[in-house]
Amino acid sequence: MTNDRETKKSTMGGDEREHRRLAMTLAAVLFLGTFQLGEGELKGDYSKLSGIIIPGFASTQLRAWSILDCPYSPLDFNPLDLVWLDTTKLLSAVNCWLKCMLLDPYNQTDNPECKSRPDSGLSAITELDPGYITGPLSSVWKEWVKWCIEFGIEANAIIAAPYDWRLSPSMLEERDLYFYKLKQTFETALKLRGGPSIVFAHSLGSNVFRYFLEWLKLEIAPKQYIQWLDDHIYAFFAVGAPLLGSTETVKGMLSGNTFGLPVSEGTARLMFNSFGSSLWMMPFSKYCRADAMYLKHFSGGIRKGPNAYQCEQKEFQSNYSGFSTNIINIEIPSTRGIDAYPSVSEFSQTNYSSMECGLPTQLSFSAREISDGTFFKAIEDYDSDSKRTLHQLKKSYHDDPVLNPLTPWDRPPIKNVFCIYGVDSRTEVGYYFAPSGKPYPDNWIITDVIYEIEGSLVSRSGNQVEGNPGPASGDETVPYHSLSWCKNWLGPRVNITRAPQSEHDGSDVQVELNVEHHNEDVVPNMTRSPRVKYITYYEDSESIPGKRTAVWELDKANHRNIVRSPALMRELWLQIWHDIHADSPSKFVTKAKRGPLRDDDCYWDYGKARCAWPEYCEYRYVFGDVHLGQSCRLRNSSADALLHYV
């Protein structure tokens, strides 16, 4: 049997779309009743909810706020011109474009000739480079917004919170008052719509939201903090969050990561290292924590407190700070001897003991040794950018008055927390670097890469890899160890369900109830069909009274595209629909069955010569349909089908 669902284009007329939207709204009014908030539950009219989107790294448009004449190019930069991302100007006037993108590496100020600022509104995060060709290639949240529109969500119910993703967290507040404005956004949404907000954060956006929660503690009286969160935030969906950092950040800092842009790796490194946010995504150990440097009282007084960075004994008993292998293996000339490394701690002595005079030596560094600055001190004499990195690391992270972001995150005090990420894609987890003989920024080259692939470690060169691979791999960008840290937010007993991502009749659904979990990774004893992509749900609604925690793992969902995944958007919609229904007998939406929710989910079953899923879909030709699958549409009564998910 074949189907043409992937080539299907919706041609439904505006009247028919409006009819179905009104039917779904009517069903909500008839079945949902009034809006009420219980302990961690939402009952009533979903029209009172707001959705606030916090995008990830490089996922907000930046626009010029200067007039810049570009010599040897017909294209100049004028106020409000698109900078990130305008591929035309990037190709024709790269030097001018870089002036508008680069920041001062020490104080995070703009280039004297050009400054850029983040755009505002939903258009700032839907497509980075709008256009017939570039638009789909740079699409981020566009499909997400289209889903909201198709399900009848009002325009003022979806709010974007774009930010200048080049800045460190403290500079976001110092220069742009970002967190103050974000607080106002929540308060305005509550006043405008009468209900709390749902936070959707992708990638670095989750780390931004974490910093906001800590910043908020210093702005609100302690006794009012939890109440403010309960009033303004109903649920937090962390999608692809690098909770313990990303190893790809190391590649970007040492050799450059172009992210597909038509620039050299050296140029990409120069740009990336000028951003204060580059350190925000560094990998760090789950065993090390830091106390807040300043304790601000609600009365307005500020006193300096301890800024201790302490690690558990497990950090020194484990080899790789909890990660699957050493993240950096670097070859350094040894002509200056051991005295060239005055700042390297005793862990390196084993490396030096085998060092031969005059020959390069290879040093290995774990996540802790990267995030605490040990690595950058070790290469300070061989990399001119290390001093800048150490300065930013201390100023913007280790000494941050609100939070040291390079520390593990405990469960946020939100009523409902959903942690969602992709698994089992090939993900880079370690690198081998060597000197290139060229000046900065091209002074390091990658000689080998270590990948995690579905529970195993392999190297690009085929060499044997030492390490402790996890039960799964990451999402192509963030390692599994970092993504799955949120499993520590689950309680001692977890319900696990594994179901296909596509529509299914429930025959391939597996369930394990009350699985014991002790602050470590929990792996289900379940089977997999090799041709099926699954979602594995880990759910806990009992360990913290009035709060729910869930972790969703999506097979083969890549880091960037997960926010465009139809399966994810369907599950989000069904979970919210479940929560607002007054008669929901369970804490989470049922996984027993998944049927089509949109016309795009209906397709023609050539084997049975009818539309698939006849209880949901019917053949209904509309002028302009060019194949049978296009004429398969949801039945008019499909709004009632949502009641199956209560």
* Listed residues 196, 223, 239: the one ending a domain: 239
Calculate Rg over the CA atoms of the chain. 26
Q: Give the active site residue among 203, 321, 364, 396.
A: 203
State percent of the chain over pLDDT 70: 84
Residues 6 or more apart from 287 whose CB is under 8 A from it?
311, 312, 314, 315, 318, 321, 322, 368
Would you say residue 212 lies in a domain?
yes
Q: Does the pLDDT at position 35 exceed 90?
A: no
Q: Identify the weakest region by mean pLDDT among 22-31, 225-234, 266-275.
A: 22-31
Would you say residue 177 lies in a domain?
yes
Would you say residue 190 lies in a domain?
yes
Q: Give the active site residue among 339, 353, 507, 518.
A: 518
DSSP track, 260-311 = T-SS-HHHHHHHHHH-GGGGGG----TTEEE--SEEE-TTS-EEE----EEE
Q: What is the mean pLDDT of the chain?
A: 85
Q: Does the pLDDT at position 98 exceed 80?
A: yes
- Provide the pLDDT for residue 320: 93
- Provide the pLDDT for residue 305: 47
This prediction's pTM: 0.88
Average the pLDDT over 262-285 and give the result: 95
Average the pLDDT over 106-124 and give the result: 94
Residues 6 or more apart from 185 whose CB is under 8 A from it?
52, 159, 161
pLDDT tens for each residue of 318-333: 889 999 999 999 998 8
State percent of the chain over pLDDT 90: 64
pLDDT tens for each residue of 624-640: 999 999 999 988 655 56
Q: Identify the weakest region by mean pLDDT among 146-150, 439-443, 599-603.
A: 146-150
Question: Using CA atoms, how far apart are residues 326 and 328, in angstroms rounded to an integer?
Answer: 6
Q: How many domains does the chain contain in total?
A: 2
What tokens appear for 138 in the block? 């740079």
User: 441 preceded by cis ω (within 30°)?
Assistant: yes
Would you say residue 205 lies in a domain?
yes
pLDDT band at 352 (very low <50, low <70, confident <90, very high): very low
pLDDT tens for each residue of 246-256: 999 999 999 99
- Where is pLDDT greater, at 154 or 41? 154
Which range of residues forms the domain containing residue 631? 601-644
Would you say residue 171 lies in a domain?
yes
- Provide the pLDDT for residue 21: 46
Would you say residue 276 lies in a domain?
no
586 is catalytic: no
User: 85 preceded by cis ω (within 30°)?
Assistant: yes
Residues 6 or more apart from 467 whose CB is under 8 A from it?
320, 324, 325, 326, 429, 430, 450, 457
Question: Between the ranges 41-55, 124-138, 526-540, where is the mean pLDDT highest?
Answer: 526-540
Q: Does the pLDDT at position 501 exceed 60?
A: yes
- Provide the pLDDT for residue 335: 54
* Listed residues 239, 259, 291: the one ending a domain: 239
517 is catalytic: no
Would you say residue 161 lies in a domain?
yes
Average the pLDDT over 508-526 and give the result: 91
- Provide the pLDDT for residue 370: 96
pLDDT tens for each residue of 364-410: 999 999 999 999 999 999 999 999 999 999 999 999 999 999 999 99
Q: Report yes or no: 144 and 563 within 8 Å, Cβ to Cβ.
A: yes
- Provide the pLDDT for residue 29: 34
Q: Does the pLDDT at position 538 exceed 90?
A: yes
Average the pLDDT over 156-177 and give the result: 95
Q: Give the active site residue among 383, 475, 579, 600.
A: 475
- Provide the pLDDT for residue 577: 84
pLDDT band at 308 (very low <50, low <70, confident <90, very high): low
What tokens appear for 289 in the block? 């924590």
Q: What is the CATH number of the domain that holds 165?
A: 3.40.50
H or E stretch including 585?
none
605 is catalytic: no
- Provide the pLDDT for residue 301: 46
Would you say residue 195 lies in a domain?
yes
pLDDT tens for each residue of 445-481: 999 999 999 889 999 998 889 899 999 999 999 999 9
* Listed residues 209, 239, 269: the one ending a domain: 239
